[in-house]
Amino acid sequence: MLLIKFDKMQSLGNDFVMVDLDQFSRKPLWGADFFRKICDRNYGIGCDTAVLYQKSNDGSQVQAEFFNADGSEAEICGNAARCLGSLMKERYGKPKFLLKAGGKICPILAEDEISVDMGKPSFDPEDIGFSKPVPDPLSVTEHLPCDADVSVASCISVGNPHLVLFVPEAPTAERTASLAKMSENSLFRNKINVSAAFVKSENEIILSVFERGAGPTLACGSGACAAVAVARLKGLVKSEKVRVYQRGGILTVSVDNEGNILQSGPASFVFCGEIYL
């Protein structure tokens, strides 16, 4: 058994167990069972995602890995990135650093809110994980059993893959659950995050997300980025800054002149502790 020190963090109700790898002389070789135990809300600590991170000596960079509640690895997590921003600022006095995760480098700035530059979205079939050729990732309705009221079905990667479905009214938990089955559609080699999005106004989107490997969550940072990126490309929103409403709260997502996506919102400490696993 190994004693593990951890921090529990949350952003908009999306919660994380953060494990600093500097506490170990060498990185433990943990498998999927370990992460399932950590995330289990009855027999473990309880969270949507477990995060392993390691700081550079000067704190200017943080390398991170993200593991879902089912034990699978995620490329990146937008809300967890902001939680790392809060942790680095409050505990280590580093309000600005570079996050390295899943092949991406994301600048993070922690001020009153935490902001993460997610970079440019990708429509590369490999990044999305298509199992067969798809001519236009922004229009995949013909490849999926979409209901008639899904006006737009688009695939995009913001560091991790998302299927964004625009619906005619604010999505309920039940509606999101009915769409979640598309996560395991054979079109996607490694499953996909599924978002139900409703455009409320030119600068407002209501969003509900079923996260691959974690299920329905109160909020999804990368899902918010994906929805705004698709909505702008499809002309569904005009504003460069969009408020995204989720069950856990509000994120602000903006797109700069170069097409980089910036997400800003709160993140906070819940508790810290130790566990033997």
Count of residues in the chain: 277
Residues 4-9, mean pLDDT to the nearest whole number: 98
pLDDT at 1: 83
Look at residues 78, 115, 87, 83 and name the one whose alpha carbon lies nearest to residue 10: 83
Token pair belonging to 206: 């209501």
- 133 and 253 part of one domain: yes
Is residue 135 domain-shared with residue 252, that is, in the same domain? yes
Together in a domain, 145 and 252: yes
pTM of the model: 0.96
| 3-class secondary-structure state, position 274 | strand
Q: Is 155 a catalytic residue?
A: no
How large is the average pLDDT for residues 4-20? Answer: 98
My answer on whether 139 and 59 are in the same domain is no
Say yes or no: 249 and 129 in one domain.
Answer: yes
From the candidates 39, 47, 77, 225, give the one annotated as an active-site residue: 77
pLDDT mean across residues, the chain: 96
User: Are residues 140 and 20 part of one domain?
Assistant: no
Residue 238 to residues 104, 233, 265, Cα–Cα distance (Å): 27, 9, 21
Amino acid identity, position 261: I
Looking only at the bridges linking them, the beta strands covering 193-201 and 204-211 are antiparallel
DSSP three-state, residue 184: helix
pLDDT at 93 over 90: yes
- Which residues are 253's β-sheet partners? 242, 263
pLDDT of 147-206, one tens digit each?
Answer: 768 999 999 999 999 999 999 999 998 999 999 999 999 999 999 999 999 999 999 999
Q: Residue 90's domain spans which residues?
A: 3-111+268-276
pLDDT at position 31 is 94
Residues 164 and 189 in one domain: yes
Examine residue 70 and state whether it is found in any structural domain, yes or no.
Answer: yes
- Please tell me whether residue 265 adopts helix, strand or coil conformation: strand
Question: Domain with 245 in it: what CATH number?
Answer: 3.10.310.10
φ/ψ (deg, to 5) at 138: -80, -5
117 assigned to some structural domain: no
Q: What is the pLDDT of residue 277?
A: 86
Average pLDDT over residues 5-30: 96
Same domain, 157 and 240: yes
pLDDT above 90 as % of the chain:
92
Residue 34 has what pLDDT? Answer: 95
Q: In terms of domains, do 216 and 234 share one?
A: yes
Is the model's pLDDT at 146 over the cut of 90?
Answer: no
Task: State yes or no: is 220 an active-site residue.
Answer: yes
Residue 274 reports pLDDT greater than 90: yes
Same domain, 19 and 79: yes
CB neighbours (10 Å) of residue 176? Answer: 20
**41 within some domain:** yes
Does any domain span residue 205?
yes
Which whole number is the average pLDDT over 67-77?
97
On whether both 175 and 135 belong to a single domain, the answer is yes
Q: Examine residue 219 and state whether it is found in any structural domain, yes or no.
A: yes
Candidate list 83, 106, 220, 225, residue with the active-site label: 220
pLDDT at 52: 98
Residues 195, 107, single domain; the answer is: no
Look at residue 145 in the predicted model and tell me its pLDDT.
87
Nearest-angstrom CA–CA distance, 57 and 106: 18
Look at residue 147 in the predicted model and tell me its pLDDT: 75
Name the DSSP class of 15.
E
Q: What is the pLDDT of residue 68?
A: 97
- Domains contained in the chain, number: 2
Looking at the domain assignment, is residue 120 inside a domain?
no
Contacts of 155 (CB under 8 A, 6+ apart): 123, 128, 130, 134, 137, 138, 140, 161, 162, 163, 164, 192
pLDDT tens per residue, range 207-254: 999 999 999 999 999 999 999 999 999 999 999 999 999 999 999 999
Residue 44 domain-assigned? Answer: yes
Residue 160 belongs to some domain of the structure? yes
Pairing of strands 14-20, 49-55: parallel
